[in-house]
Amino acid sequence: MADTAKSGEAIIRLENIVKRFGGAEALSGASLTVRRGSVHGLVGQNGAGKSTLIKLIAGLHRADEGTVEIDGKAYDRLTPHLVEELGVHFIHQDRLLVPTFTVGEALFLGRELRFPGTPFLDRAGMRRKSAEILERYFGLSLPHSALIAELSAAEKQIVQITRALIANPKVLVFDEPTAALVRREADLLFQLIRRLSAEGVTVLYISHYLGEIVDLCDTVTVLRNGRDVATLPVAETSAADIGALMVNRAIGELYPKPDVTPGEVVLDVENLALAGRFEAVSFRLRKGEVLGLTGLVGSGAKEVVRSLFGLDRPTGGTVRIKGETVFSADPAAATRRRLALVPEDRRRDGVALDLTVTENTTLASLDRFSRGIIDRSAERRQTENLVKRLEIKTDGVDALVKTLSGGNQQKVAIAKWLSRQSEIYLLDEPTVGVDIAAKVEIYRLIGELAERGAAVLVLSSDIEELLGVTDRILVFFRGSVTREFPSSETSPGEILADVTGAHETLRHAG
């Protein structure tokens, strides 16, 4: 396919790239060199700058400083079209295939084959060509006239890859390609990537799963805080080392964690299962304890939290709250048992932006303030107390919540449950999108909840944060709890290796 003559030269080279969005620097001097014929891994935590870097190569963003070279030539103004002409193609999980197109239309969109010298489409030619590629690389035939909407995630990905292969690519960029695939499909994808590499196609492979990187790539670049901190031959490193490189930051005084002796068990989860999402999940949560859950998207951690709050109905297992078995999947029943959920999508599910601070704070506890008619001065007093206690910065309790900053909105979402006198708090990514100062205040609040005898469960993908605020951490991988760590004796790298499935690779290898 692509020529291998100049193997080893840089085919994509980014030098000291700086990219700002408003005041924030997404990339502050990142470099990346992908050599012809290699399978190059790119890793980094959320916010490290991976997606910005990829969008730069794809011609979707333009660098503020630094140079982008493709095939030895520097380009100032890359466009998605030009990038494809240069032979660089992208396989992206979220990249939209028009769902109402047929397979054939999607494959050739924008570069339809025509009868030479006429405007007429060569339908038979297109069908022949796609069938040949599908047969050669995937050993299967997709009906040319099937609708994209009818395909599975894996089949959609095959359409994307086939579409790229039709254009004779030099470089294929895979952006989190296995996120929606089951194990067997992922294995087939790895085989395909190895084969394309053997045929001389250069591969840039972005993944959260460090195990995959170690398996598949020959070189890996680690991004952290907008910079490339290391580029290593995979043969000389390990998933744990890569993980350590990704999170290497001083933990310091960020986490004011009080020392609380846990009391009785208030939440007892036994063999909880939700078909297709998670299975055999068991843990106990005590008064005064802070338990961390972590895992990648689709690992089941978030689904467990949703099930506990009654948003999803588990298909097996038992949940006991203060010794009482819970049967109904109903948030109203959960809140009556003094469960609280601070959801991840704060602006959609956590606070009502067009209600006032007071109206939000008392929404889950109106019973306390009304016997028929709401006692508005009582709800106001309660809100003013909570605003003071949580140090919520607002123009007043009558201000609309949308006028507050993200961190203060999150505090209102927590205040709602304090007003309800909840005893078991489920916090889903509690510090996403809040600034560092508000984060520390939320950490302090978590500690305070535990001190006052509440049981707290924190779901987070920020591992340092979890290590700082929790007593122990359960790691989820592909639907089950793979390991439990005591927070005080664990390093971020160890957890990350588990989160990303590095131990899976070891198990496969051993």
Partner 1 sequence: MALPSFAHGLARYALVAALAAVFALFAALAPGFLSGANLLSVLVNNFALLAIVAIAMTFAVSAGGIDLSVGTAVDFSSFAFVSLVLAGQPVALAALGGLAGGALVGLFNAVLIAGIGISPFLATLGTLFVGRSVQQLLTNGGNPVYLPPAGVPEAFRFLGHGALAGIPVPLIVTALVVAGAWVVLARTRFGRVALATGIQASVVRYSGLRLPRITAATYVLVSTIAAVVGLILTSTVTVYIPSSGNAFLLNAIGATFIGTTFDPHGRPNVPGTVLGVLLLGVVANGLLLSGLNFYWQQVGTGLLIFSVLAIGFANRKAAGRV
Instruction: Tell me whether residue 307 or residue 487 sits nearer to partner 1 (CB atom).
Output: 307
Pairing of strands 65-70, 290-294: unpaired
Q: Which tokens belong to 442? A: 């939320």
Q: Which residues bind partner 1 (CB under 8 A)?
A: 311, 330-332, 334-336, 341, 343, 348-355, 359-360, 363-364, 366-367, 370, 372-374, 376, 395, 400, 416, 420
Name the minimum Å distance from CB 351 to partner 1. 6
| Phi, psi angles (nearest 5°) of residue 362 | -100, 5
Q: Spell out the residues 6+ positions from residue 92 whose beta carbon is closer than 8 angstroms to its own.
A: 160, 175, 176
Cβ neighbours for 110, distance < 8 A, ≥ 6 positions apart: none
In the complex with partner 1, the residue whose CB is nearer, 95 or 336, is: 336
Residue nearer to partner 1 on the CB measure, 142 or 341? 341
CB of 278 to partner 1, least distance (A): 21
Of 188 and 363, CB closest to partner 1: 363
Q: Least separation, in Å, of the C-beta of 330 and partner 1?
A: 8
DSSP string computed for 280-343: EEEEEEETT-EEEEE--TTSSHHHHHHHHTTSS--SEEEEEETTEEP----HHHHHHTTEEEE-
- Smallest distance, partner 1 to C-beta of residue 495, A: 29
Nearer to partner 1 (CB atom), residue 120 or residue 327: 327
As measured in angstroms, the least distance from the Cβ of 341 to partner 1 is: 6
Smallest gap from residue 450 Cβ to partner 1 (A): 22
Rounded distance, CA 78 to CA 69, Å? 10
Nearer to partner 1, 197 or 409 (CB): 409
Sequence-distant (≥ 6) Cβ neighbours of residue 347 within 8 angstroms: 353, 409
CA dist 311 → 308, 325, 338, 427, 483 (Å): 8, 17, 15, 14, 26
**Total count of residues recorded for the chain:** 510
Min dist. Cβ of residue 413 to partner 1 (A):
9
